[in-house]
Amino acid sequence: MSLSIQTPAAAAPATPPRRRAHPKTLRFLRRLCKERPLGALGAMICLVLLLTGLFADVIAPEGFNAINPIERLKAPSAEHWLGTDQLGRDVFARIVHGAQLSVIVAFAATTLSIVISALLGILSGYFGGRLDMIIQRLVDGWMCFPDLILLIVAVAVLGPGTWQVILILGLLFGISGSRIIRGAVLSAKQNVYVHAAQSMGASSPRILLKHILPNVMAPLIVLYTTRLAAVILAESGLSFLGLGIPPPEPSWGGMLSLDGRSYMFQAPWLAIAPGIALTVAVFGINMFGDALRDLLDPRMRGGGGRYLARVKRTIGS
């Protein structure tokens, strides 16, 4: 979990075995539990989400698409933990398989968006000058169009489907997020130690990797977690409009907005179950993200009392 990546340049040919990696992860986990209990909870939720996605078929083997008209709109019971929907499908199975879909879409789209944000933001922020101007005008142009219009146009062109949703959400969030990363890069560039690295002749990749990226890491993590949550929500919005994942695939968003809305009063569990699943997932991701950001900053580690006091004092007074 270390951010200081060892450059191979000066490493000895016979690199000592990396025995340290394991204890480091353990130490990190211990700190997570001790210093950020909420973050640990978040991590657990993320883990559950991930595992549910991975082992959806094991957890709910009956299948999410088994239509059973006799069992329509049944309230939660021992047999159907979360009840059934208007086609008699088991809501629990659909939630579990929805997790799989959500996990795939959310992580893929968010990762894509973060890569785009980081690339554009760092190029624009670090190298500046004409490149910055061109990129920023393009971003401006892109952001002039309302998101919804872009989405509708994109789906109209590409057709609905899982990878289309990933692509379009990734692009959409990626471009708007590049502003935040650019800002973080610009402020990281102001650090005297960046000047010091430049003045001793360090190459741009080295400076970006060792001095800029760690500073951009915190906003990247925050961006990632908020975007992850936003993507899940956006995907449900798209599905609601019929532009997202086409039925009968069980996406949480689709469940919440289509079935959930239509049968809100007859069968409230149809809305409540995906609603809670979404909320818990978003909460968990955000908590874990916050904790990650704080723990990765060595200044937050013990022993730094005086430095922190000074920093706080200069900021505070």
Partner 1 sequence: MSTETSTATATATTAPRTEPAATLLRVENLHTVFEKDDGVVHAVNDVSFDVRRGEVLAIVGESGSGKSITAMSLLRLIPSPPGQIIGGRVLFDGQDLLDLPDDAIRQLRGRDISMIFQEPMTSLNPSLRIGRQLAEPLRVHGSVPKDKVRERCIELLRQVRIGDPEKRLDAYPHELSGGMRQRVMIAMGLACLPRLIIADEPTTALDVTVQAQILELLRDITRASQSSMMLITHDLGVVARYADRINVMYAGRIVERGTAHDIFHRPRHPYTVGLMESMPRLNDAIGNRLTPIPGSPPDLSDPPSGCPFHPRCRFAQPRCKQERPPLERLDEEHWKACWVNLDDTH
Partner 2 sequence: MTHTDSHTDVTTPLLQVSGLKVHFPLRPGLFGKPAAMVKAVDGVDFTVHRGETLGLVGESGCGKSTTGLAVLRMTPLTEGRIVFDGEDISHPDAATTKRLRRKMQMVYQDPFGALNPRMRVLDIIGEPLRVHRLTRTRAEYRERVMDLLDRVGLKAEMADRYPHEFSGGQRQRIGIARALAADPSLIICDEPVSALDVSIQAQVINLLEDLQRDLGLTYLFVAHDLAVVRHLCHRIVVMYLGRVVEVADRERLYQAPRHPYTQALLGAIPIADPDPEVQARFNPSVDGEVPSPIDPPPGCPFHPRCPHATDLCRREAPRPLDVEDGHSVACHLHDPSRAAEMNHSEPSYQEQARNIA
Ligand X SMILES: Nc1ncnc2c1ncn2[C@@H]1O[C@H](COP(=O)(O)OP(=O)(O)O)[C@@H](O)[C@H]1O
Q: Which residues bind partner 1 (CB under 8 A)?
A: 305-306, 309-310, 313, 316-317
- What is the closest distance, in whole angstroms, from the C-beta atom of residue 300 to ligand X in the complex? 17
The DSSP letter of residue 8 is: G
Q: What is the Cα–Cα distance from 257 to 85, expressed in whole angstroms?
A: 13
CB of 309 to ligand X, least distance (A): 4
**316 lies in the site for ligand X, by CB under 6 A:** yes
Q: What mask of x and - would describe binding to partner 2 in positions 282 to 301, judged by CB under 8 A?
A: ---------------xxx-x
Query: Count of alpha carbons within 13 Å of 193, Cβ hemisphere only?
Result: 9
CA distances from 249 to 98, 100, 104, 160, 265 (A): 8, 10, 13, 12, 24
Q: Which of 312, 300, 305, 281 is nearest to 102 (CA)?
A: 281
Asked if 313 is part of the footprint of ligand X (rule: CB under 6 A), the reply reads yes
Give least dist CB 128 to ligand X, A.
37
Between 35 and 132, whose beta carbon lies closer to partner 1? 35
Piece of the chain touching ligand X by CB under 6 A; list 7-15, 54-62, 194-202, 309-317 = 309-317
**What does 301 bind: ligand X, partner 2, partner 1, none (CB cut-off 5 to 8 Å by kind)?**
partner 2
Name the residue with tokens 């909420």: 38
Which of residues 309, 311, 314, 315 is near ligand X by CB under 6 A? 309
The CA distance from 279 to 272, in Å, is 10
77-136 residues in contact with partner 2 (CB under 8 A) are: 133
- Residue closest to ligand X (Cβ): 309
In the window 197-216, what residues touch partner 2 (CB under 8 A)? 197-203, 206, 210-211, 214
- Please check whether residue 104 is in contact with residue 283, taking contact to mean a CB–CB distance below 8 angstroms: no
# binding residues, ligand X (CB under 6 A): 3
Distance CA 216, CA 116 (A): 14
Per-residue string for binding with partner 2, 165-204, x by CB under 8 A?
A: --------------------------xxx-xxxxxxxxx-
CB of 302 to partner 1, least distance (A): 8
- CB distance 174 to 117 below 8 Å: yes
Q: Is 312 exposed, middle or buried (0-12, 13-18, 19+ CB in 10 A)?
A: exposed
Contact positions toward ligand X, by CB under 6 A?
Answer: 309, 313, 316
